[in-house]
């Protein structure tokens, strides 16, 4: 569980912060919520996180738009089969399908699927815990990720701290967040092609 999370969880951090810096109105709203929940305390606890509904929407939308592990786990055929126009002629063939990205960006399921819209998860029962086939970032059923609770808690806590104590900007003068290159890299996990570099400024209440 810890080995799997060592790559996928930081990938989720990076995509979340990239989307926030690219969408300053969303960043501002998230920071206002986080700072309002924390108040004058010196650290964030689990009770504060539970009050951050918009932050949870942001994380949901990040995982929908940028699933860190879109191929999930490979499958094995139990018999020869023709599927989607392809002949898989041998039993016990190992299959890796990029169905997760296709489903979570399907315009027949999601309105404006290529846009980062955390509000789509407000009062929406659909979540990533394997009960909804349109949102399977962590897989589902017996093949679901056993580290889902640990991973989501880590992402929530880190992003909440980054938003609470710092203001964020681009490191180069004259470059705006809207100019950020959101190209995807290659690999089992899908990080940003160009690693994200941001400039933190300590937040003064």
Q: Is 164 labelled as part of a ligand binding site?
A: no
Q: How confident is the model at residue 117 (pLDDT cuts 50, 70, 90)?
A: very high
14-46 confidence digits (pLDDT tens): 999 999 999 999 999 999 999 999 999 999 999
The whole domain housing 43 covers 2-202
Rounded distance between C-alpha atoms, residue 18 and residue 170, angstroms: 10
Among 61, 64, 73, smallest CA distance to 145 is for: 73
The conformation of residue 201, written as its DSSP 8-state character, comes to E
Give yes or no for residue 175 having a pLDDT over 60. Answer: yes
**Count of domains observed in the chain:** 1
Strand partners, 82: 87
Q: Quote the CA–CA distance of 183 and 169 in Å, as a whole number.
A: 19
Look up the CATH number of the domain holding residue 83: 1.10.630.10
pTM of the model: 0.86
Q: Give the span between the Cα atoms of 104 and 67, in whole angstroms.
A: 9
Instruction: Pull the structure tokens for residue 145.
Output: 């990720």
pLDDT tens-digit map of 177-204 = 888 999 998 877 888 999 999 999 999 8
Measure the N-to-C terminal CA separation of the chain; round to a whole number of Å: 38
Tokens of 191: 């990080």
């Amino acid at each position: 569980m810890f080995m799997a999370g060592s790559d996928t969880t930081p990938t989720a951090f990076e995509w979340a912060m990239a989307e926030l810096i690219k969408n300053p109105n969303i960043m501002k709203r998230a920071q206002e919520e986080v700072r309002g929940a924390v108040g004058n305390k010196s650290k964030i606890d689990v009770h504060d996180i539970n009050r951050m509904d918009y932050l949870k929407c942001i994380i949901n939308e990040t995982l929908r738009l940028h699933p860190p592990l879109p191929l999930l786990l490979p499958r094995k055929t139990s018999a020869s089969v023709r599927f989607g126009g392809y002949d898989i002629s041998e039993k016990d063939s190992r299959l890796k399908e990029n169905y997760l990205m296709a489903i979570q960006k399907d315009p027949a399921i999601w309105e404006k699927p290529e846009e980062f819209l955390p509000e789509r998860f407000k009062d929406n029962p659909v979540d990533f815990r394997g009960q909804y086939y349109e949102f399977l970032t962590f897989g589902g059923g017996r093949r679901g990720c056993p580290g889902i609770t640990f991973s989501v808690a880590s992402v929530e806590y880190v992003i909440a701290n980054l938003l609470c104590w710092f203001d964020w900007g681009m490191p180069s003068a004259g470059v705006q967040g809207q100019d950020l290159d959101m190209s995807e890299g290659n690999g089992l996990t899908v990080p940003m092609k160009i690693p994200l570099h941001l400039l933190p400024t300590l937040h003064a209440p």
